[in-house]
Amino acid sequence: MHSFAKRRRPLSLLVTAAALLPNVAAAAPPPAPKLIVVISVDQFSADLFAEYRSRFTAGLKRLSQGVIFPAAYQSHAATETCPGHSTILTGNRPARTGIIANNWFDVNLDRPDQRVYCAEDEGVAGSSSENYTVSPVHLKVPTLGERLKSADPRTRVVSVAGKDRAAVMMAGHTPDQIWWWKGRGFVSYADRKPTPAVARINAQTDAEIGRAAPSPPLPPGCQARAQAIRVGLEKEVGVRLPPREAGDATAYRTSPSFDAETLALAAGLAVEMKLGQGQGIDILAIGLSATDYVGHGFGTEGPEMCLQLMHLDRELGLFLAKLEKQRVPFVIALTADHGGHDAPERNQLRAAPDAQRTADALDPGSLGAAVAADLGLEGFVFTGDGPAGDLYVSASVPKDKRDVVIANARKRLLAQPQVEAVFTRDELGAAPKAILPPDEWSLLDRAAASFDPARSGDLVVLLRPHVTPAPDTGATIATHGSPWDYDRRVPLLFWWPGVTGFEQPLPVEIVDIAPTLASLVPLSIAAGEMDGRCLDLLASAESNCR
Ligand code: ZN
């Protein structure tokens, strides 16, 4: 580790360089943060950022005046919440973090439910993927916070999120404080007691959920987006966020109040713990989940998302102001775990006639039954979490039949008009390292970045673009998770007080965040330990990446 001061050039050199290169701005030193704040806005796609960017007036406007990468990639294929959060602070893709999906299957797991949740400890007796004990045990690599703590035990790591998997994957294995939402308030690991800030926010939130709330009024710019869209037989979206009944915590979670409380808790802990005022460098990770719940429940292009993003902008502005009052040098990085796209019913009306929902034939149960009938096999042949992603050959299939089962299923899947590609575990295991920028990656490159030989399926199914793997009868009407750029591409914004902003439209990766933040400390990372690279955040000839 070399000291920060050592990297600054002597003044005389700067003067000489500036005289020789009159078009180069005077070199600014990199920021020297005492507090690193990383914010993940769940399902905040690059498309949403572009669409609303000119409309932001508060926090997101200020952050947009920093160093902007409008095309940052969650470069892997399985663009879900858990893998996406596992890349943000580890500098590694899911193939190395081990977090290949929100859920995977362990066909040898000795419990009735062979589905494994990414942030559970299935070693706890009596657990299932639905009723689990939250744990970081599946995360195979350290986070930036853990690395900072190893280098200097005075570092503190704080993680707060609307979802347990977001909080856990950004915190890593040794957080000082970690809080995620469950039921009607923020909870933590069994041995953690609520701090005064946690107790205060939880009491406030509980009282708010206890009261009924009218439909929040649409901000002026969102009213023009109101257009009723029929989804299936039962549901209509596109008009407004519905009113909330007293006690309805699910509706609360799908409203701007949810992010407001999450940010209030993050700010409360920052004040309470005096983050950035100690001897070490502190990390505050924040996962804001309401955008994802609104996207799933109402799609991305209606007035509901407009309302959500306008509130998010406002709340981030209030959060920034609170942070500035602490008078500690800080750096913020804001990004997302994945992107998303709109419900097929609205897309069909809006120049995307190929938008559609998945056919029943792709369901692992239906596929398995067809394969079993072809081959004269009995029982469940396949297990998997849905029509796309990882498919596992059941343990009941005889070893000498596995290859023929896989070949038969692949042929059947490729005959489906909604399937774009099917890879086997052998193909994914042998895939060469991707060398092009992430927007130019092949589908094999993308799927290989999500591949872990111990956890991935025997087959990985990728759907065609604009195919939504959700029925029109459930609470989720729009989703993400595909290998396509609308799900992979997210904004990445770096900001600190006094930043000289610039924009770099060329693609970067979310795994670049950790090595970039490490360079500001500076904390050295051994070559090859991270998939990402350090991004030069200084517009001048000076660089933070040395
Ligand atoms: Zn997500």
The Å distance, Cα 81 to ligand 1 centre, comes to 3
Given a cut of 90, whether residue 171 has pLDDT beyond it is: yes
| pLDDT confidence bin for 310, thresholds 50/70/90 | very high
Q: What is the DSSP annotation of 25-78?
A: PPPPPPP--SEEEEEEETT--HHHHHHHGGG--SHHHHHTTSEEEEEEE--SS-
pLDDT digits (tens, 9 = 90+) for 524-539: 999 999 999 999 999 9
pLDDT at residue 28 tops 90 = no
Q: What is the pLDDT of residues 325-345, one digit of tens each?
A: 999 999 999 999 999 999 999
Report, as an integer, the average pLDDT of 177-193. Answer: 97
For residue 379, name the pLDDT band (cuts at 50, 70, 90).
confident
Tell me the three state secondary structure of residue 231: strand
- Global confidence as pTM: 0.94
Residue 406 has pLDDT above 80, yes or no: yes
For residue 507, what is the DSSP state? -
Distance 181 CA to ligand 1 centre (A): 14
Confidence at residue 381, expressed as pLDDT on a 0 to 100 scale: 87
CA of 476 to the centre of ligand 1 (A): 13
d(CA 498, CA 29): 11
Contact (CB, 8 A) for 79 and 388 = no
Six-digit token string for 419: 């399937």
Residues 386-403: pLDDT tens digits?
889 999 999 889 999 999
43 C-alpha to ligand 1 centroid (Å): 5
Confidence of residue 444 (pLDDT cuts 50, 70, 90): very high
What DSSP line would sit under 148-216, residue for residue?
Answer: HHHH-TT--EEEEESSHHHHHHHH-S--SEEEEEETTEEE--TTPPPPHHHHHHHHHHHHHHHS-BPPP
Label residue 26 by pLDDT band (50, 70, 90): low
Percent of the chain beyond pLDDT 70?
95
Question: What mean pLDDT comes out for the span 170-182?
Answer: 98
Average pLDDT over residues 197-224: 96
442 Cα–ligand 1 center, Å: 23
Ligand 1 centre from 510 Cα, in Å?
14
- Per the listing, tokens 């309401």 go with 290
* For range 196-217, the mean pLDDT: 97
CA Rg value for the chain:
24
295 alpha carbon – ligand 1 mean position (Å): 10
Q: How far is the CA of 300 from the centre of ligand 1 (A)?
A: 14
54-107: pLDDT as tens digits: 999 999 999 999 999 999 999 999 999 999 999 999 999 999 999 999 999 998
To the query of whether residue 358 is one of the catalytic residues in this protein, the response is: no
pLDDT average, residue stretch 262-279: 98
Ligand 1 mean position to 380 CA, how many Å?
30
Q: In this structure, which residues have their CB less than 5 angstroms from ion ligand 1?
A: 42, 81, 292, 337
CA of 422 to the centre of ligand 1 (A): 24
The answer on pLDDT for 144 being more than 50 is yes
How remote is the CA of residue 42 from the centroid of ligand 1, in Å? 5
3-state DSSP assignment of residue 119:
coil
The pLDDT assigned to 27 comes to 56
Res 430 pLDDT > 50: yes
Alpha-carbon distance 173 to 175, whole Å? 6
Count CB atoms within 10 A of the CB of residue 345.
Answer: 23
More confident residue, 26 or 498: 498
Confidence of residue 22 (pLDDT cuts 50, 70, 90): very low
Q: What percent of the chain has pLDDT over 90?
A: 86
Q: Could you say which of 81, 90, 143, 516 is catalytic?
A: 81
Choose between 318 and 15: higher pLDDT. Answer: 318
Q: How confident is the model at residue 108 (pLDDT cuts 50, 70, 90)?
A: confident
**DSSP helix/strand/coil, 244:** strand
**Residues 287 and 170 sit within 8 Å (Cβ to Cβ):** yes
Nearest-CA neighbor of 143 among 530, 536, 533? 530
pLDDT value of residue 301: 98
